[in-house]
Structure 1
Amino acid sequence: MADEHYDAIVIGTSQGGRFLPVELAKAGQRVALVERDQLGGVCVNTGCTPTKTMVASARLASQARRGEEYGVRIGPVSVDLAVVRERKRAMVAGARQNYASRLAQDGLDLIEGEAHFTGPKTVEIVLTDGGTRQISAPVVVIDAGTRPKPLAITDAGDVPVLNSTSIMELDELPEHLIVLGGGYIGLEFGQMFRRFGSEVTIIQSAARLMMIEDEDVSDEVAAILRDDGITVLTSSTPVRVEPADGGRLRLTVRTQDGERQFEGSHLLSAIGRIPNTEALTLGAAGIRLNEHGFIEVDEYLETSVPGVYAMGDVKGGPAFTHLSYDDYRILHANLIRHEKASTWDRIVPYTVFIDPQLGRAGMTEREAKAQGRAIRVAKLPMSAVIRAIETGETRGFMKAVVDADSGQILGCAVLGSEGGEIMTMVQVAMLGKLTHTAMADAIFTHPLLAEGLNTLFAMFDA
């Protein structure tokens, strides 16, 4: 039997978890919010806030090096990684403080410790300061997030292996950073450290980078990274790593042409993330997991146990902060307003913060064809966009997929300067059910990057 009873328990404090318990308490419920580590989850502490702060430093370094192209004489550019790190830490500290201030709500009890289930609606918490608490509630929401997947190759335990968290604590630039993984985490850090001044090699086991994207997008991203001076290998599987002379490391990789070896000063593993579900003892509650250890939920975010919900990355699917926030929107509507909001048919956008950015919403060309849809595709190089030419940011392209019969926009990818912002305009058009003709005929301000959307969508009427 639990010692204390609440109306709701929320385990974890990510983007969704920081709003839901506050709103439940404002609605008159007694709420327990359990956090085992830092408030704010991955986004505030090790994800969006710190990484995009560092990406901004890297972009500025890159722009400074291009000064002479624009008639601006700056001189040699170098990066003080310790200062970059301190700026990042200050941003994180400010975000945590802002988060903590939101929790000052009557009826909300913040409990610091690690939670695990002892039954379907009962939770034991091993308190950070010692001791335990037993609590229960008719509604439990799991927002436990994910963590970097450990590197499991031969002798990985014999050398220092960085992950997406620890790499941001370096205070000296790596001479040669080897990045394992060609997803958005590996690409963002790879380009970032190249711009800081490191030699960078990216090794991807799959046939191309960013396998969720269309092949032409993946190929263009790889070309941009190579243009930045990054070595990119695909269809290359790491098999072992070992110490080398001078404190370096040697990585052996199996490629289509046989084994190759790379020596580097630092190794970053960006091979994916795994859910924080083991310590929760979900089996004691009867909560089902999928084959990858993520919590199974229905379209209302309810688990296999009625009254127990999961939100954010721990339930699998796209791991984005804005999706966690939309999970909060759904649970807020259903648990407080007693509606039937669901995840059905929601458009999930995302942006990769390489430079130029890759923003995407809706279906890829490959996904649309796999569904047997009749589609039309248009693609516009950024070199045809006036603003891109004027600013000297002409790498990449815009791409749109539309339904061949109705003209409805099914998806878009914008690989270009401020690609995420431009993509969001198309996403709004999709939400409003606009056709490609409406986008082609719209008046967009000249000369903006978004003006390229006129030209892109006019291609369908040509």
Structure 2
Amino acid sequence: MKQYDTIIIGSGQAANPLAKKLAAAGRHTLLLEATHIGGTCINTGCTPTKTMIAAARMQYIASRASRFGIPVETGAIDLTAVVKRKNEIVASFRGSLEKSLEKTANLEVVREQGVFTGTKTVNGRYTAEHIFINTGARPVIPPIPGIHEVPYCTSAGMLDLQKVPEHLVVLGSGYIAMELGQMYRRFGSQVTIIERGSRILGREDEDVAAAVHQVLEEDGIRIITHASVERAAAAGNGHVRLTLQNGQRLEASHWLIATGRAPATEALQLEKTGITPDEQGFIPVNEYLETSVPGIYALGDVKKGPAFTHISYNDYIVVAENILNKKNISIKDRPVPYCMFTDPELGRIGITEQEAREKGLAIKIARLPLSKVARAIETGETRGLIKAVVDAQNGQVLGAAVLSVSGGEIMTVLQMAMMGNIGYKQLRNAIFAHPLFSESLNNLFMTLDDD
């Protein structure tokens, strides 16, 4: 049995900085990773998708160039070249991270699947005082009759296609569905999105979801709501025939399953530790990210909560500060900013109008369409809106949704205001450089100008 101070299972966005931090503090650390260093974000998530989405935006810009008086001939997308560039960037990021880990003193990186064989024993030969689980999540494949007899893709597989799909059918309407659906539409695919609910983006306010819906339809994407797939069957030529609950049939050259993700806990054998996952497989933790077993922690997507890279990274900061510096940092009530990288992108922070009204809060709603923003008009990017939820009593910003070019950057301005307790009247009267998109915050809060 080899004794370590720390064992980290998985190498996601919490694991890697945590491994280096603990090792640098003199703790003998073992990092176990079964596949690629860097986790979902670098290998199949943020880095590759945003790289390819950037290529799709270049195509979109080129297709609109004539409106600006610039004649540009656009041809078929060279998807092989797009994927090659993506792979090069992923390899560069992953390679840089691997080298950084390799040169860290007191840190051993072993390419193995971490499996508990005792309360604090891993793979039958490693043990440690502190163990951190950062194994991430995997796509959920729904139990549709025939699904395993036909070809389908998950988000990772969609990033390695060498030919633009003729007709891509997307099951689900979350962020992955929105981003990849729009991306392949811009690459030249016919795209159909199937959503079983009454609308897309069920967690967002109705007006925000409707604005995204309008953008996608303007881009030529067909969205079918109140629909579910009853069965799937081969249609010949490698295609898939999908039968909906209303009897409607769709034939797809490619079928993307984007119905959510589940925690990657199956291989861990958590029962050997005494940890019991919840019904969905998530590992329960307290507000300090510790499981029911003292000294064992769950970080990132493997625990319940927002599944974002930046939240996983913040998990690292929480446990590192608490363990090394004896702090008492909690994840309770921490802000959760996020962004959906459609074009325009959707930046979100804080509470939605829908959530505020369900809680019975006294609120004001500030709303400004991008068509009223000077910079948007000048750049020809008038699709979208900016919306803020404001406390009616003290004027503090409680939440915001920004559907705009650079929507995430504008949202971050509002996040900083929330962090600094800067009220909407200060933002309304603030001096922002002209003509920035962020300058539109003046006009946004002028819609609440009541005194």
Q: What runs of 5+ residues in structure 1 fail to find an aligned partner?
A: 125-132
Is the contact made by 2:151 and 2:238 (CA closer than 8 Å) also made in structure 1? no
- Measured in 1, the distance between the counterparts of 2:7 and 2:430 equals 48
The range that moved more, 279-288 or 383-392, is: 279-288
Task: Please give the alpha-carbon distance, in whole angstroms, between the structure 2 residues aligned to 1:235 and 1:342.
Answer: 40
How far apart are 1:115 and its partner, in Å? 1.1
Residues 14-413 of structure 1: matches in 2 within 5 Å?
14-103=12-101, 104-124=103-123, 134-254=125-245, 258-413=246-401
Can you list the C-alpha shifts for 1:44-99, whole angstroms capped at 9, x where unaligned?
A: 00000000000000000011000111111011332111111100100100010111
- Structure 1 window deviating more from structure 2 (427-436 vs 364-373): it is 364-373
Residue correspondence of structure 1 range 419-430 to structure 2 within 5 A: 419-430=407-418
> Distance in 2 between the 1:245 and 1:86 partners?
30
Task: Kindly indicate whether the alpha-carbon contact (under 8 Å) linking 1:436 and 1:458 is maintained by their aligned counterparts in 2.
Answer: no
| Higher alpha-carbon deviation: 332-341 or 74-83 | 74-83
Question: CA contact under 8 A between 1:33 and 1:109: conserved in structure 2?
Answer: yes
Rounded Cα–Cα distance in structure 2 between residues aligned with 1:224 and 1:32: 47
Give, in whole Å, the separation in 2 of the partners of 1:427 and 1:99: 29
How many percent identity over aligned positions? 48
Secondary structure, counterpart of 1:291 in structure 2: coil
AA in 1 matched with 2:447:
M
What residue in structure 2 maps to residue 128 of structure 1?
Answer: none
Q: Secondary structure at the match of 1:232?
A: strand
Deviations 1:114-148 (A, max 9, x none): 11112221111xxxxxxxx5111111000010111
Q: Which runs of 4+ in 1 moved over 3 A?
A: none
Residue pair 1:64, 1:77 contacting (<8 A) in 2 also? no
Q: Which amino acid aligns with 1:111?
A: V
Cα displacement string for residues 288-317 of structure 1 (whole angstroms, at most 9, x for unaligned residues):
212211010111000111111011000021
Superposed CA deviations along residues 187-246 of structure 1, whole A, max 9, x for unmatched, are 100000000000000001122111110111111111110010000011111111111133
CA distance in 2 between partners of 1:297 and 1:110 (Å): 26
Q: Which amino acid aligns with 1:24?
A: L
| Preserved contact between residue 390 and residue 399 of structure 2 (Cα < 8 Å) | yes
How many pairs does the alignment contain? 449
Q: Give, as a single letter, the amino acid of the residue that structure 1 aligns with 2:437.
A: L
Q: Structure 2 CA distance, aligned partners of 1:348 and 1:430?
A: 12
Q: Distance in 1 between matches of 2:158 and 2:142?
A: 15
Could you tell me how far apart the structure 2 residues matched to 1:120 and 1:386 are?
Answer: 61
How far is 1:438 from its partner? 0.8
**Equivalents in 1 of 2:19, 2:277: separation in Å?**
24
Deviations, residues 230-274 of structure 1 (Å, cap 9, x unaligned):
0001111111111113332111112xxx22111111101011111
Equivalent pair of 1:288/1:303 in contact (CA under 8 Å): no
Most deviating of 70-79 and 270-279:
70-79
Deviation at 1:159, TM superposition (A): 1.1
- Aligned counterpart, 2:436: 448
Partner Cα distance (1:297, 1:239) in 2: 37
C-alpha separation in 1, matches of 2:341 and 2:70: 26
1:130 alignment partner in structure 2: none
Whether the aligned pair in 2 keeps the contact of 1:61 and 1:77 (CA below 8 Å) is no
Q: Which secondary structure state, in structure 2, belongs to the residue aligned with residue 6 of structure 1? A: strand
Amino acid at match of 1:69: R
Provide the secondary structure at the position in 1 that maps to 2:434: coil
Instruction: Give 5+ residue unaligned stretches, structure 2.
Output: none
Task: For residues 389-419 of structure 1, give each alpha carbon's deviation from its aligned partner in whole angstroms, at most 9, with x where no partner exists.
Answer: 0000001100000111011110000011111
Structure 1 residue 369: deviation in Å? Answer: 1.3
CA drift at 1:284: 1.0
Residues in 2 aligned to 1:340 and 1:352: alpha-carbon distance in whole angstroms: 32
In 1, Cα distance between equivalents of 2:221 and 2:293: 48
After TM superposition, the score normalised by the length of structure 1 is 0.96
1:44 and 1:96 in contact (8 A); partners too: yes
Paired residue secondary structure (1:118): strand
**Partners in 1 of 2:80 and 2:141 — Cα distance?**
26
Structure 2 length normalisation: TM-score? 0.98
Secondary structure at 1:208's aligned position in 2? Answer: coil
Aligned to 1:79, the other structure's residue is in SS state coil
